[in-house]
């Protein structure tokens, strides 16, 4: 395949892309990866850190190999044999193995190296550039990738795998003493928190859960408060049940897209109702979980969900499979007003249901709550430094004092990491990218090619959170794998069509 590929970023999404490229019979002429980070291939989530931090999905949902759900499991077994270590990391309540995230980072590293070796063995020239990319331009029929040193690298296709941004700072506490702006890696960022410090964790998502688990494992016995506006914790993962989607499938919605058919949210819900009924469930089960997310007491909800790990009703498991597998194909078909309403009213709760925590994590939270060492509050209005030191937390039910505040909120809504802002600004100025009002940049569903100037760019693609405004559920490994295959297929089609000049590499939408 006579094409040169530049990959901007070297985290999990880049690993999925490299693996997809290496599985084809024809390989690129060259692959150049640009990334300055200290922990190449791991990204922010899977860097070396405490063993307390576990992946939150079963091994089959963590594989980087398309069409091979057992790939990560085989790697774990092979590692155990080689090292003579047979820890299975099984959660006894759900029967699911949840290995440490740092160990998953080892898997990503080995998969990246393996993919690069396969590519090189088939003739690809491999180059790793340990610098950040700050500009990308069309020059002389190619794409010129400029690093911070302003040295240009010529490529034919560029894939932006820039990862996720740092946590937002909604209460503007940056620079305040005893404020932890980003908890990762926890072994370093949380090390100075005293055993008896009163700690407020801003947020109630998976990152906030990580903070509480890490402090508990380190022997913290003081009060911890998880504080957010809505107080919705991640749901508790249930024991798996076998179910293959029959009605609410990606193929169904892709066929609709090919025919140019729009989709009403009510029709998508009706199809999900059919899917659930076929499996012996009811949509009321899912609807109740979604609508009660912001009103049910968080501790009562946690206790109820932990008690439902073995619930025979498959409804929640089906939703958790359908959202990442089919959601990206449903989303582009919906009207803009329905997308806005869905995001405004239900996004946080849907994400909490579809990104569940292991039951063991939930049990630790509940135990700490029952012992009076953890409180979960909602309706947080303001967190501000106190004149006498520490912080004051204002919510609808009063004011609390804290010694330390740990920031565990989601990245800012624009979804552009600080390290990639110069690049995205450059692409926007050049008319090669268009900001998506809901975050990131606009991309085409079928190819993840950037959308700008009324057309789809066939040479520049975005993989991961950068596409979150255009797509739905862009951060789970299965979604990364699916989009990596889409991008690889698009690049191969482009190469098969022959050399394309910079003037005709935009395809009308």
Break the chain into its structural domains and give their ranges.
Answer: 7-166+413-484, 179-234+358-407, 250-351
Q: Which of 19-28, 35-44, 321-330, 384-393 has the lowest average pLDDT?
A: 321-330
Other CB atoms closer than 10 Å to residue 450's CB: what's the count?
28
Position 501 scores a pLDDT of 41
pTM, two decimal places: 0.92
Q: What is the average per-residue pLDDT within 199-215?
A: 96
In degrees rounded to 5, what are phi and psi of residue 42? -100, -25
* DSSP single-letter state for residue 417: -
pLDDT tens-digit series, residues 35-91: 999 999 998 889 999 999 999 999 999 999 999 999 999 999 999 999 888 777 999
Q: HSE (CB half, 13 Å, CA atoms) of 95?
A: 6
Query: 7-166+413-484 with 179-234+358-407: one CATH topology?
Result: yes
In terms of C-beta density within 10 A (0-12 exposed, 13-18 middle, 19 or more buried), how is residue 489 classed?
middle
The per-residue pLDDT for 509 is 45
CA 428 to CA 469: how far, in whole Å? Answer: 16
Q: Is the pLDDT of residue 433 over 60?
A: yes
How far is residue 288's CA from residue 267's CA, in Å, rounded to a whole number?
A: 19
Which top CATH class is 179-234+358-407? alpha beta
Helices (H) and strands (E) counted in the chain, each on its own, are 14, 20
CA distance 480 to 440: 16
**pLDDT value, residue 294:** 78
Return the beta strands (E) in 92-203 as ranges. Answer: 96-97, 125-129, 133-139, 142-147, 152-155, 157-160, 179-180, 199-202
* CATH entry, 7-166+413-484, from 3.40.30.10, 3.50.50.60, 3.40.50.620, 3.90.245.10: 3.50.50.60
Q: What confidence score (pLDDT) does residue 505 get?
A: 53
- pLDDT mean across residues, the chain: 91
DSSP code of residue 60: G
């Amino acid at each position: 395949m006579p094409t040169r590929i530049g990959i901007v970023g070297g985290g999990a999404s880049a690993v999925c892309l490299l693996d997809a490229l290496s599985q084809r019979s024809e390989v690129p002429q060259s692959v150049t990866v640009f990334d300055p980070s200290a922990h190449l291939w791991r990204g922010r989530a899977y860097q070396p850190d405490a063993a307390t931090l576990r992946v939150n999905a079963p091994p089959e949902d963590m594989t980087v190999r398309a069409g091979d759900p057992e790939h990560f499991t085989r790697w774990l077994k092979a590692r155990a044999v080689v090292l003579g270590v047979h820890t299975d990391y099984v959660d006894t309540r759900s029967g699911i193995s949840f290995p440490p995230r740092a160990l998953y980072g080892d898997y990503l590293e080995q998969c990246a190296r393996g993919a690069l070796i396969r590519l090189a063995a088939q003739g690809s020239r491999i180059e790793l550039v340990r610098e950040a990319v700050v500009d990308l331009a069309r020059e002389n029929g190619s794409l010129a990738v400029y690093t911070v040193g302003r040295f240009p690298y010529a490529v034919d296709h560029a894939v932006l795998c820039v990862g996720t941004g740092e946590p937002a700072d909604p209460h503007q506490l940056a620079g305040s003493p005893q404020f932890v702006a980003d908890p990762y890696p926890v072994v370093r960022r949380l090390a100075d928190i005293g055993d008896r410090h009163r700690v407020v964790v801003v947020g109630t998502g998976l990152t906030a859960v990580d903070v509480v688990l890490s402090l508990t494992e380190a022997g913290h016995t003081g009060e911890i408060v998880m504080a957010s506006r809505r107080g919705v914790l991640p749901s508790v993962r249930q024991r798996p049940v076998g179910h293959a989607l029959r009605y609410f499938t990606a193929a169904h919605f892709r066929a609709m897209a090919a025919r140019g058919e729009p989709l009403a949210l009510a029709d998508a819900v009706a199809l999900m109702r059919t899917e659930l009924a076929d499996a012996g469930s009811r949509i009321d089960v899912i609807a109740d979980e979604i609508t009660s997310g912001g009103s049910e007491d968080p501790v009562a909800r946690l206790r109820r969900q932990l008690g439902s790990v073995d619930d025979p009703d498959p409804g929640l498991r089906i939703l958790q499979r359908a959202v990442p597998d089919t959601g990206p194909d449903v989303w582009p078909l919906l009207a803009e007003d329905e997308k806005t309403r869905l995001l405004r009213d239900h996004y946080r709760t849907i994400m909490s249901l579809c990104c569940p925590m292991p039951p063991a994590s939930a049990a630790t939270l509940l135990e700490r709550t029952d012992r009076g060492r953890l409180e979960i509050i909602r309706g947080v209005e303001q967190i501000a430094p106190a004149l006498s030191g520490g912080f004051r937390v204002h919510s609808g039910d009063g004011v609390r004092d804290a010694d330390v505040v740990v920031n565990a909120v989601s990245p800012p809504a624009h979804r552009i990491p600080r390290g990639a802002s110069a690049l995205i600004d450059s692409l926007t100025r050049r008319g090669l990218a268009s900001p998506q009002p809901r975050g990131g940049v606009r991309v085409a569903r079928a190819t993840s090619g950037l959308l700008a100037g009324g057309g789809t760019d066939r040479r520049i693609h975005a993989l991961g959170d950068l596409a979150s405004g255009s797509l739905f559920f862009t951060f789970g490994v299965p979604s990364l794998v699916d989009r990596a295959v889409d991008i690889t297929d698009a690049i191969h089609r482009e190469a098969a069509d022959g050399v394309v000049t910079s003037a005709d590499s935009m395809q009308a939408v």
